[in-house]
Amino acid sequence: MPDFSSLGISQALAAILHKSAIATPTPIQIEAIPMIMNGTDLIAQSETGSGKTLAFVLPILEKIDSEASYIQSLIVTPTRELALQITNEIEKLVQHIDNIDVLAVYGGQDVEKQLKKLKKNIQIVVGTPGRLLDHIRRKTIQLDQVSFLILDEADQMLHIGFLNEVEEIIRETPTSRQTLLFSATIPAEIKKLAAKHMKKPAYIQIEKTQGPAENVEQIAIHMTDRAKQGTLISLVETHQPFLAVIFCRTKRRVSRLNEILKANDFDSDELHGDLSQAKREQVMKRFRKADFQLLIATDVAARGLDIEGVTHVYNYDIPQDAESYVHRIGRTGRAGMKGLAVTFYTDDDKAMIELIEKELQITIPKKSMEKKEEKQKQKITRKATHSPIQKERTSNNSKRKTPSQWSKNSRGKQTEASKARRGQRQSARNGRGK
C-alpha cells in the first residue's frame, strides 16, 4: 500500500496528515492524486465518505503559488455545508503553511465580510454557485487567473438546478485551467458538461456499483406511519447511539419530530432549509462537538455532512431514490468504522424499497412489526404528545428536564455512557492534534 509521499505529497503535508491520524491514502486518493499532480483533467466517480476531498485538496496545495496574490483555485459545491466542510479541511492543512489563505463564499453570509476578506491575498475560494455569481457580477471576484477548477458533488449541483450557473462560472475561468470533476454518479448531463469544458479527461471509478458501504449494517422495519415515533424512541433507547442522524421527508416533519424527542428528554436538534445560515452553522458546530445526540434533518440540508462519530442513521421517512438512500446511510460508517442504518417503511413505501434494492443490487433485511407491538409504540407516542403530560411538565417546572438533559430514570445509563464516549472522542481528537 503506497503512502502519501509516494504519491507526490511533500513530507510537510504528510506530517500534518499523520498528526491527524491519516497515514494511509484511500483508493480514490491513490488513483487521483498522481493524475492531478501531472496536470490531467479528471472525472472521478466515488462513493460518499471515500476521502475525495483530500484527493483534490492535497495536490492543489502542492502546486499552488503561495507568493501569488490572486485566486488560483476555485472549488464549487452545491451546498453551504459542504463549502464550509471543505474550507475547514483546507484550513487544518494550511495553518502551519505561510501565505496560503482560503475563503468560503456562500449565501446567507454577510457580503461585506466576504468583500473585506477578498481584498486580502486569497489563493483558494470555496463557494456555492449563487453567491459566486453574485461576486462575479459585482466584479469582486476575479477568476481570470484560476489554475484549478474543481466541481465537487457535480451530480447534486445539477440535480438542484445549478447547471446554467455552473456553466456561467466556468466561462469566467481561463481555458488553460485544470478541471477536476467529482461526482457520486455520472448522468448524461455530467457527460455533456465534461465534453464541453474539459480537455481529454481521465476517468476514475472506484466502485462499479455506488452502493452502501459494506461496514454499514442495514435493516428495514415495516410499520404504520403512526407507529414511527414510538418505534424510533424505543430504538434509540435500545441502540444508545453515540451520534445519530434521523432523516425526514419535509421540514415540517423534522420540526415536529424534534419537538417529540425533546418532550421525551432526548438531546436533539434540527437541520433544514428554513433555518438561518448562522443557526445552521451553530447546529453543525454543536453536533460535531457531540453537544447533542440526535440530529433530525432533511436530505438537502444534510448533503455532504461529514461528522466523526455518527454511529446510527434512521430513515424515519423512506428516501425517494437509491442515490438518496446511499447518501443518507453514508453519514455513518465513515473512515472504515461500523455503522447501523434503519429504514422505516409503510405499505405505500414497499415499491420504493424494492426499487432501491433493485438499483443497488442489494437485499435489505426486513422486519415487520406485529399489530400488538405497533399499538405499544403508538402508546409511547401518545404519552409524549397528549396535553395532560404537557400540562404536568409546564406546571411542575422544578421537576421538568431541559432539552439538554435526558431522563435520569429511563436513560441515566445512556447519559453516562454518552458522556464517557464524548470524553473518549475528545481525548482521541486531542491526541491527533485537532
Closest residue by Cα to residue 191 from 238, 143, 158: 158
Phi and psi dihedrals of 36, rounded to 5?
-65, -40
Give helix 408-431 / helix 228-239 axis angle, nearest 10°. 60
Residue entry with cell 453551504:
80
pLDDT digits (tens, 9 = 90+) for 376-413: 555 555 545 543 333 333 333 333 333 333 333 434 44
Q: What percent of the chain has pLDDT over 70?
A: 79
Q: What is the pLDDT of residue 279?
A: 86
- Top pLDDT among 107 and 332 is at 332
Q: What is the pLDDT of residue 302?
A: 64
Count CB atoms within 10 A of the CB of residue 44: 26
Residue 404 DSSP code: T
Q: What is the pLDDT of residue 326?
A: 86
- What's the mean pLDDT in 217-224? 96
Domain ranges, ordered by start, for the chain: 5-205, 216-428
Evaluate if residue 263 carries a pLDDT over 80.
Answer: yes
pLDDT digits (tens, 9 = 90+) for 195-216: 999 999 999 988 644 556 678 9
Give helix 371-385 / helix 251-263 axis angle, nearest 10°. 80
Evaluate if residue 303 carries a pLDDT over 70.
Answer: no
Give helix 111-118 / helix 129-138 axis angle, nearest 10°. 70
Phi and psi dihedrals of 344, rounded to 5?
-90, 135
Q: How do beta strands 124-127 and 243-247 pair?
A: unpaired
Could you list the beta-strand ranges (E) of 316-374. 339-345, 366-368
**CA distance linking residue 73 with residue 93, whole number of Å:** 15
Alpha carbon 248 to its chain centroid, in Å, reads 16
Query: What are the cell numbers at 14?
Result: 504528510
Evaluate if residue 116 carries a pLDDT over 50.
Answer: yes
Phi and psi dihedrals of 390, rounded to 5?
-65, -40
pLDDT digits (tens, 9 = 90+) for 324-377: 888 889 888 876 678 999 999 999 999 999 999 988 889 999 998 765 555 555
Selected from 3.40.50.300, 3.30.1490.20, 3.10.180.10, 3.30.365.10, the CATH number assigned to the domain covering 5-205 reads 3.40.50.300
pLDDT digits (tens, 9 = 90+) for 2-57: 889 999 999 999 988 888 778 889 889 999 999 999 999 999 987 666 788 999 99
Closest residue by Cα to residue 55 from 99, 6, 9: 9
Provide the 3-class DSSP secondary structure of residue 151: strand
Question: Which residues on adjacent β-strands are paired with residue 181?
Answer: 43, 151
Q: What is the pLDDT of residue 389?
A: 33
Evaluate if residue 285 carries a pLDDT over 70.
Answer: yes
Domains 5-205 and 216-428 equal at CATH topology level: yes
Class of domain 216-428: alpha beta
- What's the mean pLDDT in 116-133? 86
**CA distance linking residue 204 with residue 206, whole number of Å:** 6
Q: What is the pLDDT of residue 420?
A: 54
Q: What is the pLDDT of residue 395?
A: 38
